[in-house]
Amino acid sequence: MKTYQLPQDSRLSQPDFVFGVATSSYQIEGAAKEGGRTPSIWDTFCALPGAVHNGENGDIACDHYHLWKQDIEMIHGLGVDAYRLSIAWPRIFPHEGELNPQGLNFYQNIIDECHAKGMKVYVTLYHWDLPQYLQDRGGWLNRETAYKFAEYAEVVSAHFGDQIDVYTTLNEPFVASFLGYRWGIHAPGIKGEREGLLAAHHMLLGHGLAMPLLRRNAPKSQHGIVFNASPSYPLSEKDQAAADYSEAEGYHWFMDPVLKGEYPALVLERQASNLPMILDGDLAIIHAPVDYVGINYYTRHVCCFDENGDIKNVEQSQAEHTFIGWEVYPQGLTDLLVRIHQRYTNMPPMLITENGSAGDDCVIDGEVNDEQRTRYFQSHLLAVDEAIRQGVNVTGYFAWSLMDNFEWAYGYEQRFGIVHVDYQTQKRTLKQSAIAYRNMLLERAEENK
């Protein structure tokens, strides 16, 4: 029987350690023009020639909008404690100031179904699908969007309150701001150093403005934010400064304001000519207390300086890589968690809110033998266990992703799911990685009876 093995006396084996699966709205829902939804920046971006692999989009995706009930049943069958999803902002406010009851009802049904099956609900308010009408006024380059996000967060939390067990304001502000507004790889496709840093500041401001509203409306829930992070290593001893800066810009720039109330000096110095306008009081707002910090981890960086003094990542050609080209490096997850734990005093509990790998998966005789992904999860679960043994407070782990889905600029080429999706028929097939996950959780449940 395929299952993941956890060390004896592992914190991960305890009944209060939360195991879950994760998705996001634009990646799985489809029904782009149904239920009152209006376009997001991703609908617009996908229509740009060459923006997304094969010109693909999320119009149908996994059709979760129509298949949500069977999907929740499938999630429950995995034996997880929780389901992490995101709410599509354009379903809640399809037009400026216009609340959409159909959107609220869609998520209400999912929340109710999860709770009826004994699963907790973790909701991300912003997983990158900004309403296009806000982008038309500048999107995250416009300070007003931070306040619009706070209004949206207030309405959602006022409606659902403590029915949502755990709220996340933003998912991966690094990706949303830098890939979207600095490098143009993601929606809305804007390129500019100054723009990327400005968008990042406004996203963090939106997070800070939302936090007291969430606490007031859902006092029994937990509230926090999710960062993607990769530890950086020097290619040689002389490249330590390159690795240090890579981490400073890659995740300290986003975590420091939330957890320390300041931006990292390394980035302030190197980007002095591109810094955003930071008004008095902004950092105090961003520094609002959080109940947890979510960490999304996939791989590491190995860095050096090039001939121009710029920092570049060096591919480790001898290492194992996933289908997307990312190095498999579980030790990086242990190192990352320990580094974060050491950097921030009074660090709240951490959750691994995403961890997973992409594969070129196909169904053969009714099965998907995703052997690499199964090894990936096993090694990374052990990496989390090791970080906990070194004193890091990690309280949960969410596999990314529940099922194959629209993988942003990669379209449907990359499959991150532990469940295979046939996009023609929408048939779901549990991969070997999902079966091992389920078996581990069933064993844990038996042991904890």
Given the residues 29, 113, 247, 354, the one annotated as active site: 354
Nearest alpha-carbon partner for 228 in 167, 168, 153: 168
CA contacts within 13 A on the Cβ side of 406: 27
The two structure tokens encoding residue 51: 């923006």
Tell me, yes or no, if 247 is annotated catalytic.
Answer: no
What whole-number distance in Å separates Cα of residue 118 and Cα of residue 134?
37
Place of tokens 């890579």: 246
φ/ψ bin of 404: left (φ > 0), alpha (ψ from -120 to 50), beta (otherwise): beta
SS3 for 292? strand
The size of the chain, in residues, is: 449
Tell me, yes or no, if 354 is annotated catalytic.
Answer: yes
CB of 147 closer than 8 Å to CB of 170 = no
97 contacts: CB under 8 Å, gap ≥ 6: none
Phi, psi at residue 113, to the nearest 5°?
A: -65, -40
Given the residues 172, 195, 247, 386, the one annotated as active site: 172
CB of 177 closer than 8 Å to CB of 191 = no
Catalytic residues: 172, 354
